[in-house]
Amino acid sequence: MAEFTAKDVQALRQKTGAGMMDAKRALQENDGDFETAAKWLREKGLSSSAKRSDRANDQGAVALGGDSAVMAIAEIKCETDFVAKSEQFTDLVQDLADLVAAKGEDEAKADVAERVDDLKVTLKENIEVGQIVRFEKRGDLVDSYLHIQEGRGVNAVLVELAGGSQDLAHDLALHIAFKRPPYLTRDLVPEAEIAEERALLEAETRNEGKPEQAIEKIVEGKLQGRFFADRVLLDQKFVRDESQTIAALLGDATVVRFAQVVIGA
């Protein structure tokens, strides 16, 4: 009988979603041949990962890790909120976030890979690591916000400022969590996206019966007042005081960068 290792069993489990004893038996029955063992599991109805991997996993949880020098967001995805709210799932997400902050993304993923695989098998869901964000402080201030829903993180934000105060950084993180801007500045919005919006606004304005000679000016006004104000952080109105934009709120401070991970987004 061919020899195989515990790593071979784990690899077969990851590929097929079979239980540990089933994976071990498959390798024993097939002289350690990996592909033949995987086929054997499918034939016996013991392989489930292929079916699970096709299922939507738009639930999950996010967590924050680290400190003021290095901060991280980690997401693990699953199929149902029931699993996402379970203690073993949220503990794993938190451990991953802490590891990302301490060791970096690749090493953190490697450290939790076996636990993720175990959850796939025991909970019988399509579970995988989602988005990972890691900020090593390079500005003056780093802050965060985590929105908790029914015991799990569902909306996580990191923001870094040059200048300003910790309170300002936290207010900005809170704003981003609720307003969800995809871009920091207008120049980061793809030209194709702007062109598509401009074409839609031109059609909308014509349908409103506006004079042809006024359409260009009206469309530009709508781009500034609606499109950019919705998508660009610096153009958004502050969620706690809509009389001022984020650019005005910042004053002399500058947003170095921000990141947001939202479950199901």
Task: Tell me whether residue 237 is in a domain.
Answer: no
Examine the domain organization and report whether 152 and 29 are in the same domain.
no
Q: What percent of the chain has pLDDT over 70?
A: 95
pLDDT at 69 over 90: no
Tell me the per-residue pLDDT of 3-51, one tens digit each, with 9 for 90 and over: 788 888 888 887 777 777 888 888 888 888 888 888 888 776 666 655 5
End-to-end CA distance of the chain: 49
Could you read off the pLDDT of 106-132 as tens digits, one per residue?
Answer: 999 999 988 888 888 778 788 899 999
Burial track 72-105 (b if 16+ CB lie within 10 A, e otherwise): bbbbbbbbebebbbbeebbebbbbbbbbbbeeeb
For 28, the domain range is 6-53
Query: Is 1 part of a structural domain of the chain?
Result: no
Same domain, 48 and 70: no
pTM over cut 0.85: no
- Count up the domains in the chain and report the number: 3
